[in-house]
A and B are shown apart, each in its own frame.
Chain A
Amino acid sequence: MATKVIAGKEVQINDEGFMTDPAEWNKEIAAAIAVEEGISALTDAHWKVIDFCRTTTAGLGGKSPTLRQITAGTGVSTKELFSLFPKGPAKKVAKIAGLGKPEGCV
């Protein structure tokens, strides 16, 4: 398992760059990964999505929820979700929230 220093902290990542231990995550790490993913600043709207993923992941074995679970659970619309996390929200949200790729197709 590879490790990477993000926001001054060494964390474990898999070969696709997703963090593998949700407990190693913190808000500074999220902000740093967001910048790597092209999102210069995380707004309240971003945090609403990230916080939702962090709280629901317990029932998903450390994976991020799917996009439809996110829109249903947060009230954030699909359009808004794609504009908050452009070009691939499914992977981007999971990465920034320090979780695994979502399992499930919807």
Chain B
Amino acid sequence: MADENRHVAFICSKGNLDMAYPALVMGWAALGNGIDVTIFFTFWGMDMITEKRIDHLELAPVGITSMKMGMMGVPGDLGIPNLMGALPGMTAFATSVMRKKIAEVGAPPVREYLQMLVDGGAKLYACKMSVDMFGLRKEDFIDGVIDVVTASDFMDMTEGAQIIFI
């Protein structure tokens, strides 16, 4: 066991801007500590590796009760009324606020972050069922994606790994 390297596998199932980051941050930390990393992108999570979507991940303020107006510099603990969040332009606004917050802590945009992970040795795979369902092909993904694989393939390649579902 001692000579077997620790291995962490992430399943990314969300395509929202905020939900793209947990696997990126933890995966990068794992690589920095010498832990093997595999990331499996499924369902909406495939936006994170889809060439035409990766730079345009968004965050809709509707239904996110933790997102307060304090993030935008409004004093107090005021929420964003869902009705207001539904107004045209609010998703773009919330997205730009979140992008700014992410940049402020020195975290790179998703495309650059994923490239860092690939360069650090992370292995990226897309889920076959989702790829078929959304009518995508391997060519639609960024270069770092190794292959389109089935859930069973994923289980085989992550034997003994710690699996984190996001």
Contacts and interface: CB of A to CB of B under 8 A. Distances in A.
Contact of A91 (B33, B105, B107): B33
B interface majority secondary structure: loop
A89 B31 CA distance: 8
A82 B106 contact: no
Interface in A75-102: 77-79, 82, 87-92
Nearest to A72: B106
A37 B120 CA distance: 18
Interface residues of A, number: 15
Contacts, number: 43
Interface residues of B, number: 18
A106 to B, nearest CB: 5
Contacts of B121: 82
Contacts of B28: 67, 105-106
Interface in B1-55: 5, 25, 28-29, 31-35
Given A68-B108, A106-B28, A78 B120 contact: yes
B106 A68 contact: yes
A104 interface: yes
Contacts of B119: 77-79, 82
A16 B119 CA distance: 27
B32 A89 contact: yes
11 contacts: A78-B120, A82-B120, A88-B32, A88-B33, A88-B35, A89-B32, A90-B33, A91-B34, A105-B105, A106-B106, A106-B107
10 closest Cβ pairs, A-B complex: A88-B34, A90-B32, A78-B119, A87-B34, A79-B119, A88-B33, A78-B116, A82-B120, A106-B106, A106-B107
Interface of B: 5, 25, 28-29, 31-35, 105-108, 115-116, 119-121
